[in-house]
Structure 1
Protein backbone atom coordinates (compact mmCIF):
# COMPACT_ATOMS: atom_id res chain seq x y z
CA UNK A 1 0.00 0.00 0.00
CA UNK A 2 1.61 3.25 -1.15
CA UNK A 3 -1.03 5.68 0.14
CA UNK A 4 -3.41 5.84 3.09
CA UNK A 5 -6.27 8.35 2.86
CA UNK A 6 -8.90 9.27 5.43
CA UNK A 7 -11.96 11.31 4.43
CA UNK A 8 -14.53 12.33 7.02
CA UNK A 9 -18.13 12.35 5.83
CA UNK A 10 -17.38 10.21 2.76
CA UNK A 11 -20.80 8.53 2.72
CA UNK A 12 -22.36 11.17 0.45
CA UNK A 13 -21.85 14.46 -1.36
CA UNK A 14 -18.38 15.91 -1.75
CA UNK A 15 -16.92 13.32 0.63
CA UNK A 16 -18.17 10.40 -1.47
CA UNK A 17 -16.92 12.11 -4.63
CA UNK A 18 -13.49 12.57 -3.01
CA UNK A 19 -13.38 8.89 -2.03
CA UNK A 20 -14.37 7.81 -5.55
CA UNK A 21 -11.69 9.92 -7.25
CA UNK A 22 -8.54 9.48 -5.16
CA UNK A 23 -5.74 10.12 -7.67
CA UNK A 24 -3.28 7.56 -6.28
CA UNK A 25 -2.61 3.94 -7.20
CA UNK A 26 -2.37 1.27 -4.52
CA UNK A 27 -4.40 3.29 -2.04
CA UNK A 28 -6.50 2.45 1.00
CA UNK A 29 -9.37 4.91 1.60
CA UNK A 30 -11.19 5.09 4.94
CA UNK A 31 -14.45 6.96 5.54
CA UNK A 32 -14.98 8.44 9.00
CA UNK A 33 -18.75 8.85 9.35
CA UNK A 34 -21.88 7.59 11.06
CA UNK A 35 -23.59 6.06 8.05
CA UNK A 36 -20.96 4.68 5.71
CA UNK A 37 -22.25 3.14 2.48
CA UNK A 38 -20.00 5.19 0.21
CA UNK A 39 -17.11 3.94 -1.96
CA UNK A 40 -14.59 3.68 0.91
CA UNK A 41 -13.85 1.37 3.82
CA UNK A 42 -15.95 2.55 6.78
CA UNK A 43 -14.83 3.46 10.29
CA UNK A 44 -18.07 4.25 12.12
CA UNK A 45 -17.90 7.42 14.21
CA UNK A 46 -20.28 10.22 15.17
CA UNK A 47 -17.99 13.22 14.80
CA UNK A 48 -20.35 15.42 16.82
CA UNK A 49 -19.71 13.16 19.84
CA UNK A 50 -16.49 13.87 21.80
CA UNK A 51 -16.39 10.23 22.93
CA UNK A 52 -15.95 9.19 19.30
CA UNK A 53 -13.14 11.69 18.78
CA UNK A 54 -11.07 9.60 21.19
CA UNK A 55 -11.91 6.48 19.17
CA UNK A 56 -10.78 8.17 15.95
CA UNK A 57 -7.53 9.27 17.57
CA UNK A 58 -6.83 5.69 18.67
CA UNK A 59 -7.69 4.49 15.16
CA UNK A 60 -5.16 6.94 13.64
CA UNK A 61 -2.47 5.71 16.03
CA UNK A 62 -3.15 2.04 15.35
CA UNK A 63 -3.18 2.42 11.58
CA UNK A 64 -0.04 4.56 11.43
CA UNK A 65 2.17 2.68 13.87
CA UNK A 66 4.91 1.22 11.69
CA UNK A 67 3.40 2.66 8.48
CA UNK A 68 5.96 2.61 5.66
CA UNK A 69 3.93 3.81 2.69
CA UNK A 70 4.56 6.76 0.39
CA UNK A 71 1.79 9.12 1.46
CA UNK A 72 -0.77 9.84 4.20
CA UNK A 73 -3.72 12.21 3.68
CA UNK A 74 -6.60 13.28 5.94
CA UNK A 75 -9.37 15.36 4.35
CA UNK A 76 -11.82 16.61 6.95
CA UNK A 77 -15.04 17.17 5.04
CA UNK A 78 -17.76 16.42 7.63
CA UNK A 79 -20.00 19.29 8.72
CA UNK A 80 -23.62 20.35 9.05
CA UNK A 81 -25.73 23.36 8.16
CA UNK A 82 -28.48 22.24 10.58
CA UNK A 83 -30.09 23.97 12.39
CA UNK A 84 -30.74 26.96 10.14
CA UNK A 85 -32.29 29.96 11.88
CA UNK A 86 -31.51 32.70 14.41
CA UNK A 87 -29.21 31.45 17.17
CA UNK A 88 -31.82 32.27 19.83
CA UNK A 89 -34.59 30.48 17.94
CA UNK A 90 -33.21 27.03 17.13
CA UNK A 91 -33.27 23.90 19.34
CA UNK A 92 -30.43 23.86 21.85
CA UNK A 93 -29.50 20.20 21.34
CA UNK A 94 -29.23 20.60 17.56
CA UNK A 95 -27.20 23.78 17.96
CA UNK A 96 -24.80 22.14 20.41
CA UNK A 97 -24.29 19.23 18.01
CA UNK A 98 -23.57 21.66 15.15
CA UNK A 99 -21.02 23.62 17.21
CA UNK A 100 -19.24 20.40 18.19
CA UNK A 101 -19.19 19.08 14.63
CA UNK A 102 -18.37 22.33 12.81
CA UNK A 103 -15.99 24.02 15.26
CA UNK A 104 -14.53 21.55 17.74
CA UNK A 105 -14.22 18.31 15.76
CA UNK A 106 -11.93 19.73 13.02
CA UNK A 107 -9.49 21.04 15.61
CA UNK A 108 -9.51 17.95 17.82
CA UNK A 109 -9.27 15.47 14.93
CA UNK A 110 -6.69 17.61 13.15
CA UNK A 111 -4.50 17.58 16.25
CA UNK A 112 -4.99 13.82 16.60
CA UNK A 113 -3.89 13.25 13.00
CA UNK A 114 -0.82 15.46 13.36
CA UNK A 115 0.13 13.62 16.54
CA UNK A 116 -0.25 10.24 14.83
CA UNK A 117 1.99 11.19 11.87
CA UNK A 118 4.64 13.03 13.91
CA UNK A 119 7.28 10.33 13.49
CA UNK A 120 6.61 9.49 9.84
CA UNK A 121 8.89 10.65 7.03
CA UNK A 122 6.55 10.11 4.05
CA UNK A 123 4.48 12.76 2.24
CA UNK A 124 1.73 14.07 4.56
CA UNK A 125 -1.28 16.32 3.97
CA UNK A 126 -4.05 17.59 6.25
CA UNK A 127 -6.86 19.26 4.28
CA UNK A 128 -9.80 20.99 5.96
CA UNK A 129 -12.88 21.85 3.90
CA UNK A 130 -13.93 25.44 4.35
CA UNK A 131 -16.57 27.68 2.78
CA UNK A 132 -17.26 31.23 1.71
CA UNK A 133 -19.28 31.28 4.95
CA UNK A 134 -15.97 31.58 6.82
CA UNK A 135 -15.85 35.21 5.64
CA UNK A 136 -19.51 36.10 4.97
CA UNK A 137 -21.92 36.38 7.92
CA UNK A 138 -25.08 34.74 6.56
CA UNK A 139 -27.94 35.35 8.99
CA UNK A 140 -29.33 31.98 10.10
CA UNK A 141 -26.03 30.13 9.75
CA UNK A 142 -24.25 31.19 12.95
CA UNK A 143 -22.86 27.77 13.93
CA UNK A 144 -21.80 27.02 10.34
CA UNK A 145 -20.28 30.48 9.74
CA UNK A 146 -18.37 30.35 13.02
CA UNK A 147 -17.24 26.78 12.45
CA UNK A 148 -15.72 27.53 9.04
CA UNK A 149 -14.06 30.71 10.34
CA UNK A 150 -12.57 28.65 13.18
CA UNK A 151 -11.32 26.03 10.72
CA UNK A 152 -9.53 28.63 8.62
CA UNK A 153 -7.82 30.32 11.54
CA UNK A 154 -6.83 26.95 12.99
CA UNK A 155 -5.26 26.05 9.64
CA UNK A 156 -3.34 29.34 9.47
CA UNK A 157 -2.02 28.82 13.00
CA UNK A 158 -1.19 25.14 12.77
CA UNK A 159 0.26 25.51 9.29
CA UNK A 160 2.65 28.12 10.67
CA UNK A 161 3.52 25.79 13.56
CA UNK A 162 4.30 22.94 11.19
CA UNK A 163 6.50 25.18 9.07
CA UNK A 164 8.39 26.78 11.95
CA UNK A 165 8.75 23.81 14.29
CA UNK A 166 9.11 20.88 11.90
CA UNK A 167 10.18 22.37 8.57
CA UNK A 168 6.79 21.64 7.04
CA UNK A 169 6.57 18.03 8.18
CA UNK A 170 2.89 18.04 7.23
CA UNK A 171 1.22 20.53 4.91
CA UNK A 172 -1.97 21.88 6.47
CA UNK A 173 -4.40 23.75 4.19
CA UNK A 174 -8.08 24.75 4.01
CA UNK A 175 -10.05 24.57 0.76
CA UNK A 176 -13.42 26.19 0.06
CA UNK A 177 -15.04 24.28 -2.84
CA UNK A 178 -17.59 26.93 -3.84
CA UNK A 179 -21.33 26.28 -4.03
CA UNK A 180 -21.83 22.58 -4.78
CA UNK A 181 -25.06 20.77 -5.66
CA UNK A 182 -25.34 18.48 -2.62
CA UNK A 183 -28.03 17.47 -0.12
CA UNK A 184 -26.89 20.41 2.01
CA UNK A 185 -27.83 22.79 -0.81
CA UNK A 186 -31.26 21.16 -1.09
CA UNK A 187 -31.74 21.68 2.65
CA UNK A 188 -30.74 25.34 2.31
CA UNK A 189 -33.21 25.96 -0.52
CA UNK A 190 -36.01 24.32 1.52
CA UNK A 191 -35.52 26.81 4.36
CA UNK A 192 -38.11 29.50 5.06
CA UNK A 193 -36.93 33.04 4.31
CA UNK A 194 -37.72 34.01 7.92
CA UNK A 195 -34.99 31.62 9.09
CA UNK A 196 -32.57 32.32 6.24
CA UNK A 197 -33.16 35.72 4.60
CA UNK A 198 -30.64 35.06 1.78
CA UNK A 199 -32.34 31.86 0.58
CA UNK A 200 -33.40 33.51 -2.70
CA UNK A 201 -29.77 33.75 -3.81
CA UNK A 202 -29.39 29.98 -3.52
CA UNK A 203 -32.57 29.34 -5.51
CA UNK A 204 -31.13 31.59 -8.22
CA UNK A 205 -27.81 29.72 -8.26
CA UNK A 206 -29.68 26.44 -8.79
CA UNK A 207 -31.98 27.85 -11.46
CA UNK A 208 -29.12 29.40 -13.45
CA UNK A 209 -26.94 26.29 -13.35
CA UNK A 210 -24.27 28.03 -11.28
CA UNK A 211 -23.72 25.12 -8.89
CA UNK A 212 -20.75 22.82 -9.38
CA UNK A 213 -21.11 19.06 -9.06
CA UNK A 214 -19.55 17.03 -6.23
CA UNK A 215 -17.26 15.40 -8.79
CA UNK A 216 -16.04 18.81 -10.00
CA UNK A 217 -15.45 19.94 -6.43
CA UNK A 218 -13.55 16.74 -5.62
CA UNK A 219 -11.31 17.12 -8.67
CA UNK A 220 -10.52 20.68 -7.63
CA UNK A 221 -9.71 19.67 -4.06
CA UNK A 222 -7.37 16.87 -5.15
CA UNK A 223 -5.64 19.23 -7.58
CA UNK A 224 -4.79 21.61 -4.73
CA UNK A 225 -2.46 19.00 -3.25
CA UNK A 226 -0.24 19.40 -6.31
CA UNK A 227 -0.02 23.18 -6.01
CA UNK A 228 2.90 24.96 -4.42
CA UNK A 229 0.91 26.48 -1.56
CA UNK A 230 2.52 27.71 1.62
CA UNK A 231 1.67 25.88 4.79
CA UNK A 232 -1.45 27.31 6.42
CA UNK A 233 -3.00 28.47 3.15
CA UNK A 234 -6.79 28.97 2.97
CA UNK A 235 -7.90 28.89 -0.68
CA UNK A 236 -11.16 29.02 -2.61
CA UNK A 237 -11.39 26.86 -5.74
CA UNK A 238 -13.22 29.69 -7.49
CA UNK A 239 -10.10 31.87 -7.17
CA UNK A 240 -7.60 29.32 -8.52
Structure 2
Protein backbone atom coordinates (compact mmCIF):
# COMPACT_ATOMS: atom_id res chain seq x y z
CA UNK A 1 0.00 0.00 0.00
CA UNK A 2 1.23 3.46 -0.84
CA UNK A 3 0.20 7.11 -1.10
CA UNK A 4 -0.13 8.71 -4.54
CA UNK A 5 1.64 12.07 -4.82
CA UNK A 6 1.00 14.28 -7.84
CA UNK A 7 3.59 17.07 -7.93
CA UNK A 8 4.05 19.97 -10.34
CA UNK A 9 7.40 21.63 -10.97
CA UNK A 10 9.10 18.40 -9.94
CA UNK A 11 12.23 18.61 -12.09
CA UNK A 12 14.13 21.25 -10.09
CA UNK A 13 14.25 23.25 -6.87
CA UNK A 14 11.80 22.46 -4.09
CA UNK A 15 9.74 20.16 -6.28
CA UNK A 16 12.69 17.93 -7.16
CA UNK A 17 13.81 17.85 -3.53
CA UNK A 18 10.36 16.77 -2.35
CA UNK A 19 10.18 13.99 -4.92
CA UNK A 20 13.56 12.64 -3.81
CA UNK A 21 12.40 12.56 -0.18
CA UNK A 22 9.17 10.81 -1.17
CA UNK A 23 11.11 8.10 -3.02
CA UNK A 24 12.35 6.96 0.39
CA UNK A 25 8.74 6.24 1.41
CA UNK A 26 5.95 3.90 0.28
CA UNK A 27 4.87 6.32 -2.42
CA UNK A 28 3.62 6.29 -5.99
CA UNK A 29 4.66 9.43 -7.84
CA UNK A 30 3.26 11.35 -10.78
CA UNK A 31 5.47 14.33 -11.69
CA UNK A 32 4.36 17.15 -14.00
CA UNK A 33 7.24 19.30 -15.24
CA UNK A 34 8.65 20.99 -18.32
CA UNK A 35 11.75 18.81 -18.09
CA UNK A 36 12.30 15.07 -17.71
CA UNK A 37 14.73 13.97 -15.01
CA UNK A 38 16.33 10.66 -15.97
CA UNK A 39 18.07 10.49 -12.59
CA UNK A 40 14.65 10.36 -10.92
CA UNK A 41 13.67 7.41 -13.11
CA UNK A 42 16.84 5.58 -12.08
CA UNK A 43 16.33 6.41 -8.40
CA UNK A 44 12.73 5.20 -8.48
CA UNK A 45 13.74 1.96 -10.19
CA UNK A 46 16.50 1.35 -7.63
CA UNK A 47 14.04 1.81 -4.77
CA UNK A 48 11.19 -0.12 -6.35
CA UNK A 49 8.84 2.87 -6.56
CA UNK A 50 6.26 3.63 -9.22
CA UNK A 51 7.16 6.92 -10.88
CA UNK A 52 5.69 8.57 -13.96
CA UNK A 53 6.91 11.86 -15.43
CA UNK A 54 4.72 13.91 -17.72
CA UNK A 55 6.72 16.47 -19.67
CA UNK A 56 4.18 19.27 -19.94
CA UNK A 57 3.89 23.05 -20.19
CA UNK A 58 1.57 24.30 -17.45
CA UNK A 59 1.16 27.60 -19.28
CA UNK A 60 -1.44 25.64 -21.25
CA UNK A 61 -3.14 23.88 -18.34
CA UNK A 62 -6.53 22.84 -19.78
CA UNK A 63 -5.44 19.69 -21.67
CA UNK A 64 -3.14 18.70 -18.81
CA UNK A 65 -5.99 18.90 -16.31
CA UNK A 66 -8.23 16.86 -18.61
CA UNK A 67 -5.49 14.25 -18.96
CA UNK A 68 -5.05 14.09 -15.19
CA UNK A 69 -8.75 13.60 -14.55
CA UNK A 70 -8.92 10.78 -17.08
CA UNK A 71 -5.74 9.21 -15.67
CA UNK A 72 -7.13 9.25 -12.13
CA UNK A 73 -10.40 7.66 -13.21
CA UNK A 74 -8.48 4.91 -15.00
CA UNK A 75 -6.00 4.46 -12.11
CA UNK A 76 -8.63 4.08 -9.41
CA UNK A 77 -7.92 3.81 -5.67
CA UNK A 78 -6.66 0.22 -5.66
CA UNK A 79 -3.56 -0.24 -3.52
CA UNK A 80 -3.60 3.33 -2.22
CA UNK A 81 -3.72 4.72 1.29
CA UNK A 82 -4.40 8.26 0.10
CA UNK A 83 -3.79 10.81 -2.64
CA UNK A 84 -2.01 14.17 -2.48
CA UNK A 85 -1.77 16.95 -5.06
CA UNK A 86 1.16 19.34 -4.56
CA UNK A 87 0.78 22.47 -6.68
CA UNK A 88 4.39 23.65 -6.58
CA UNK A 89 5.15 25.09 -10.04
CA UNK A 90 5.32 28.87 -10.40
CA UNK A 91 6.98 31.57 -12.49
CA UNK A 92 8.52 34.86 -11.44
CA UNK A 93 8.37 37.73 -13.87
CA UNK A 94 11.50 39.79 -14.60
CA UNK A 95 11.65 41.99 -11.47
CA UNK A 96 10.79 45.57 -12.28
CA UNK A 97 7.89 47.99 -12.82
CA UNK A 98 4.61 46.38 -13.76
CA UNK A 99 4.12 48.58 -16.82
CA UNK A 100 7.42 47.30 -18.22
CA UNK A 101 6.29 43.66 -18.14
CA UNK A 102 5.52 41.91 -21.41
CA UNK A 103 1.85 40.94 -21.58
CA UNK A 104 2.86 37.42 -22.60
CA UNK A 105 5.00 37.06 -19.46
CA UNK A 106 2.14 38.21 -17.23
CA UNK A 107 -0.27 35.78 -18.88
CA UNK A 108 2.18 32.90 -18.68
CA UNK A 109 2.96 33.50 -15.00
CA UNK A 110 -0.75 33.60 -14.12
CA UNK A 111 -1.41 30.43 -16.12
CA UNK A 112 1.39 28.44 -14.48
CA UNK A 113 0.98 29.79 -10.96
CA UNK A 114 -2.78 30.20 -10.63
CA UNK A 115 -4.86 28.78 -13.49
CA UNK A 116 -2.97 25.46 -13.51
CA UNK A 117 -3.37 24.83 -9.75
CA UNK A 118 -7.10 25.56 -9.95
CA UNK A 119 -7.67 23.31 -12.96
CA UNK A 120 -5.54 20.48 -11.57
CA UNK A 121 -7.41 20.69 -8.27
CA UNK A 122 -10.69 20.39 -10.15
CA UNK A 123 -9.29 17.36 -11.95
CA UNK A 124 -8.31 15.81 -8.62
CA UNK A 125 -11.77 16.39 -7.13
CA UNK A 126 -13.56 14.99 -10.15
CA UNK A 127 -11.17 12.11 -10.83
CA UNK A 128 -11.18 10.86 -7.22
CA UNK A 129 -14.79 11.70 -6.29
CA UNK A 130 -15.62 8.06 -5.57
CA UNK A 131 -12.34 7.14 -3.91
CA UNK A 132 -12.93 6.07 -0.28
CA UNK A 133 -9.61 7.33 1.05
CA UNK A 134 -8.01 10.53 2.39
CA UNK A 135 -7.28 13.31 -0.09
CA UNK A 136 -5.02 16.30 0.51
CA UNK A 137 -4.17 19.41 -1.48
CA UNK A 138 -0.96 21.32 -0.77
CA UNK A 139 -0.59 24.62 -2.60
CA UNK A 140 2.92 26.05 -2.33
CA UNK A 141 2.40 29.73 -1.60
CA UNK A 142 4.80 32.50 -0.56
CA UNK A 143 5.15 35.31 1.92
CA UNK A 144 4.86 37.58 -1.13
CA UNK A 145 1.23 36.54 -1.41
CA UNK A 146 0.64 38.01 2.04
CA UNK A 147 2.69 41.17 1.91
CA UNK A 148 3.31 43.37 -1.14
CA UNK A 149 6.66 44.01 -2.76
CA UNK A 150 7.21 46.52 -5.55
CA UNK A 151 8.68 44.98 -8.68
CA UNK A 152 7.06 41.53 -8.48
CA UNK A 153 3.38 42.48 -8.71
CA UNK A 154 2.29 39.53 -10.84
CA UNK A 155 3.94 36.98 -8.55
CA UNK A 156 2.39 38.65 -5.49
CA UNK A 157 -1.03 38.58 -7.16
CA UNK A 158 -0.94 34.92 -8.17
CA UNK A 159 0.20 33.77 -4.72
CA UNK A 160 -2.47 35.89 -3.01
CA UNK A 161 -4.99 34.34 -5.37
CA UNK A 162 -3.77 30.85 -4.49
CA UNK A 163 -4.21 31.62 -0.78
CA UNK A 164 -7.75 32.90 -1.19
CA UNK A 165 -8.71 30.04 -3.49
CA UNK A 166 -7.54 27.67 -0.74
CA UNK A 167 -9.67 29.45 1.87
CA UNK A 168 -12.77 29.28 -0.33
CA UNK A 169 -12.24 25.66 -1.34
CA UNK A 170 -11.71 24.64 2.29
CA UNK A 171 -15.11 26.13 3.14
CA UNK A 172 -16.74 24.22 0.29
CA UNK A 173 -15.12 20.96 1.29
CA UNK A 174 -16.00 21.27 4.99
CA UNK A 175 -19.44 19.77 4.36
CA UNK A 176 -18.36 17.10 1.85
CA UNK A 177 -18.75 13.43 2.66
CA UNK A 178 -15.04 12.85 2.04
CA UNK A 179 -13.57 16.34 2.23
CA UNK A 180 -10.40 17.34 0.46
CA UNK A 181 -8.11 18.78 3.15
CA UNK A 182 -6.54 21.97 1.82
CA UNK A 183 -3.54 24.09 2.82
CA UNK A 184 -1.78 26.93 1.00
CA UNK A 185 1.64 26.86 2.63
CA UNK A 186 4.46 29.39 2.58
CA UNK A 187 7.58 27.16 2.56
CA UNK A 188 10.14 29.65 3.91
CA UNK A 189 12.94 31.35 2.00
CA UNK A 190 14.70 28.81 -0.21
CA UNK A 191 17.86 29.09 -2.30
CA UNK A 192 16.35 28.14 -5.66
CA UNK A 193 16.55 29.54 -9.16
CA UNK A 194 13.96 32.14 -8.20
CA UNK A 195 16.29 33.54 -5.55
CA UNK A 196 19.08 33.66 -8.14
CA UNK A 197 16.75 35.64 -10.41
CA UNK A 198 15.93 38.11 -7.61
CA UNK A 199 19.58 38.55 -6.64
CA UNK A 200 20.54 39.11 -10.28
CA UNK A 201 17.88 41.74 -10.91
CA UNK A 202 18.65 45.35 -11.82
CA UNK A 203 18.74 47.19 -8.49
CA UNK A 204 17.44 50.35 -10.17
CA UNK A 205 14.35 48.63 -11.58
CA UNK A 206 13.95 46.43 -8.49
CA UNK A 207 14.68 48.34 -5.30
CA UNK A 208 14.48 45.24 -3.08
CA UNK A 209 17.39 43.52 -4.87
CA UNK A 210 19.89 44.23 -2.01
CA UNK A 211 17.54 42.48 0.43
CA UNK A 212 17.94 39.24 -1.48
CA UNK A 213 21.69 39.67 -1.74
CA UNK A 214 21.81 40.02 2.05
CA UNK A 215 19.66 36.91 2.60
CA UNK A 216 22.22 34.90 0.65
CA UNK A 217 25.24 36.55 2.26
CA UNK A 218 23.93 36.03 5.79
CA UNK A 219 23.06 32.35 5.30
CA UNK A 220 19.35 32.93 5.88
CA UNK A 221 18.24 30.71 3.00
CA UNK A 222 17.15 27.10 3.35
CA UNK A 223 18.46 24.59 0.85
CA UNK A 224 15.75 22.89 -1.23
CA UNK A 225 16.45 19.70 0.72
CA UNK A 226 15.91 21.41 4.09
CA UNK A 227 12.72 23.04 2.87
CA UNK A 228 11.42 19.78 1.41
CA UNK A 229 11.75 18.03 4.77
CA UNK A 230 9.85 20.82 6.53
CA UNK A 231 7.11 21.04 3.93
CA UNK A 232 6.51 17.29 3.87
CA UNK A 233 6.51 17.15 7.68
CA UNK A 234 3.76 19.79 7.60
CA UNK A 235 1.85 17.80 4.99
CA UNK A 236 1.84 14.75 7.29
CA UNK A 237 0.52 16.61 10.34
CA UNK A 238 -2.72 15.17 11.73
CA UNK A 239 -4.20 18.67 11.85
CA UNK A 240 -3.35 19.39 8.20
CA UNK A 241 -6.16 21.52 6.81
CA UNK A 242 -7.29 22.97 10.14
CA UNK A 243 -6.06 26.34 8.82
CA UNK A 244 -6.19 26.62 5.02
CA UNK A 245 -3.44 29.27 4.84
CA UNK A 246 -0.26 28.59 6.81
CA UNK A 247 3.49 29.15 7.04
CA UNK A 248 5.93 26.30 7.54
CA UNK A 249 7.74 28.47 10.08
CA UNK A 250 4.62 28.62 12.25
Fold shared per TM-score above 0.5: yes
CA shift, 1:230, in A, is: 3.7
Q: Does 1:184 align with 2:184?
A: no
Root-mean-square deviation (CA), in Å? Answer: 1.8
Judged with a 3 Å threshold, the aligned counterparts in structure 2 of structure 1 residues 124 and 202 are, in CA distance, closer, same or farther, namely same
Report matched runs for 1:90-169 at 5 Å.
90-166=101-177, 169=179
CA distance in 2, matches of 1:99, 1:187: 18
Report matched runs for 1:27-106 at 5 Å.
27-37=27-37, 39=40, 41-50=52-61, 51-63=63-75, 65-106=76-117
Gaps of 5+ in 2: 41-50
**Which shows bigger deviation, 215-224 or 33-42?**
33-42
Gaps of 5+ in 1: none
Task: Encode CA deviations 1:26-85: one digit per residue, 9 max, x unaligned.
Answer: 32111101112162531121111134333333333333x353411111111000112322
CA distance in 1, matches of 2:163, 2:144: 11
CA distance in 2, matches of 1:26, 1:221: 18
Runs of 4+ in 1 over 6 A off after TM superposition: none
**Which shows bigger deviation, 202-211 or 120-129?**
120-129
| Matched residue count | 237
**Contact 1:181/1:211 (8 A) holds in 2:** yes
After TM superposition, the score normalised by the length of structure 1 is 0.91
